[in-house]
Structure 1
């Protein structure tokens, strides 16, 4: 196989990190892109347009971003822009994507199906399987259609493609859908080195939830646990950091539970504030229904903060060492009991914090980028050209 350095990597993803609903999967993509640029690749991301974000821009790391379409139409625009660039057709051709060496097709439930129209090597990147999330986010009919596309159609379309999964849990789920395990490579998320000075722990019991405020993140579990804990630990505090359209129902629930005075909704927070929260919290709570990886778990671990999450949530099980750097639970009652036990046991909590730091050090973006670059190189035929001219085959 050839070395693809100098090639053009085209990412197809529904969002970028500046999107109001961007999350861990977008962070993964853009950090991988930055690592690839550092290895001599040219990188482009096609994603949906949003707000006042420009139709095109290039980030400080060298990633070119092309934005078009909306939440549901970005998939169509990706195909149209790609194909229009091949023949120089119409206004869309002005945003032609060039000649990619390889396409990274990111399936966030709904894949781009680029294998149907792009005669280039395609790698399917999957963070997690959305079996549980379809009925939570959509009605029964749309959920059935979405799950059929993800579990049946996509598996058929990408049957000859290399898959990248971000965790062993996702790899196993893909294999359960019929993807040949020999075609699945696991490339873990990295985590950024902590460069800010340590911040002190809060003197009172403190909990933090980080993430988008949407139903399948199940922040309600953290609110109800806080309400129960408050009867025994009157100074306990929960910080909910993140934004999303599920914000108001969560605030209403905090009022209904009588804990509005001990729950702070911090909204979107900059990196400096996130660092302070993760350093100061006694525990990170991750009640999400499903995650491809536990990015916030590892971020908390780098600050010596253990986590409590759900075993059934997928990749979170790979982001911690259960019983050593955090605790995995099976239901909401166990979630509450695990939080309570750790808040009351200072020695065990501190030991888990030390183990969390050691575990988190295993994951770096440099390692992630090197692993992804190797997947790209291995997937290209020996005769694949590396030059990146302006016509798409």
Structure 2
């Protein structure tokens, strides 16, 4: 098969997250079986315009602010003449509305409905604009098969207006071979861990807020935070303000092996997002025999 895929970000994008990992893990396996996969994503600083990763040909165009408009023009000028058996649209907050101009079989992947959680992440006018765009998605994809990652997100999509009969669940998964080969060595003293993107909507500050209370019962407890994101400096300052520098450690970016080892040491994995489709890190923690505590939200 010849497959065209579209996602705002690729796996090397500095802002990539679970959606990009989900995509890469699925389509690198499809490419390994001999199928041709081309991904179009937005360009970012110092990235090559064209690159092959895990057998997937990646084309980077435009920028993250106008990708939805730039992709349509790029498709019409460069890709429409090509034959594709399938087009996979990884639908984000601002949709590409591919069914309106691509006359080839299309399936969509949609990880979660952002909704009002955007007000916490970006300025009010921009959040309001994106929420309006998100609500319009079902109108353009009403006859498109949609895959999502959890039952709760599927229910939200149906409430938003998607066709229930065309909406299916494609569960998240983990790299079993990686996690099964890492030896589990639990930390001798209480260790709380968060691994993931450092964003406002992840509410990592709530995990930090729990530390002063936990110290009273577990004086040798430690919180380790792994990952990168635009809130990293703010969280470091917050920890310093609370005088918790001896109890909270920031590791920054972790390789997959380092992440697995850290989760294997943890007593508890904590994740408190305002909204998720389904947190892959919860499954990864469980694979390392670590229980997870999460916020009571969908996903």
> The TM-score by the shorter chain falls in which range?
over 0.9
Q: State the structure with bigger RCO (CA 8 A, min sep 6), 1 or 2.
A: 1
- In the other structure, the counterpart of 1:288 is 273
Structure 2's unaligned 5+ residue stretches are none
Q: Is the 8 A contact 1:215 1:246 kept in 2?
A: yes
Q: Deviations over 1:98-134 (max 9, x none)?
A: 3322211112212111112211122121000001322
Q: Deviations over 1:179-232 (max 9, x none)?
A: 121110110011111243414111110011011111001110110011221122
The alignment status of 1:170 with 2:153, answered yes or no, reads: yes
Structure 1 segment 311-350 matched on structure 2, within 5 A: 311-312=296-297, 314-315=298-299
Deviates more, 1:133-142 or 1:242-251: 133-142
Q: Is the 8 A contact 1:222 1:287 kept in 2?
A: yes
Q: Deviations over 1:5-38 (max 9, x none)?
A: xx22211111112111111110100111112223
Q: Is the 8 A contact 1:227 1:258 kept in 2?
A: no
- In the other structure, the counterpart of 1:92 is none
The alignment status of 1:118 with 2:102, answered yes or no, reads: yes
Could you say which structure has the larger radius of gyration?
1
Q: Distance in 2 between matches of 1:74 and 1:62?
A: 24
- In the other structure, the counterpart of 1:188 is 171
The alignment status of 1:25 with 2:19, answered yes or no, reads: yes
Q: Distance in 1 between matches of 2:289 and 2:153?
A: 26
Structure 1's unaligned 5+ residue stretches are 1-6, 89-97, 316-393
The match for 1:267 among 235, 247, 252 is: 252
* Residue 58 to residue 237, structure 1, CA distance change in 2 (3 Å): same
Q: Distance in 1 between matches of 2:261 and 2:115?
A: 35
CA positional deviation for 1:77: 2.2
Q: Distance in 2 between matches of 1:227 and 1:53?
A: 42
TM-score computed with the length of structure 1 as normaliser: 0.73
Q: Which runs of 4+ in 1 moved over 6 A?
A: none
- In the other structure, the counterpart of 1:16 is 10
Count of residues in Structure 1 that have an aligned counterpart in Structure 2: 297
Structure 1 segment 127-276 matched on structure 2, within 5 A: 127-151=111-135, 153-193=136-176, 194-276=179-261
Q: Is the 8 A contact 1:132 1:290 kept in 2?
A: no
- In the other structure, the counterpart of 2:71 is 78
- In the other structure, the counterpart of 1:278 is 263
Judging by fraction of residues, say which structure has more strand: 2
TM-score computed with the length of structure 2 as normaliser: 0.95
- In the other structure, the counterpart of 1:350 is none
User: What secondary structure sits across from 1:228 in the alignment?
Assistant: helix
Across the aligned residues of Structure 1 and Structure 2, the Cα RMSD in angstroms comes to: 1.5
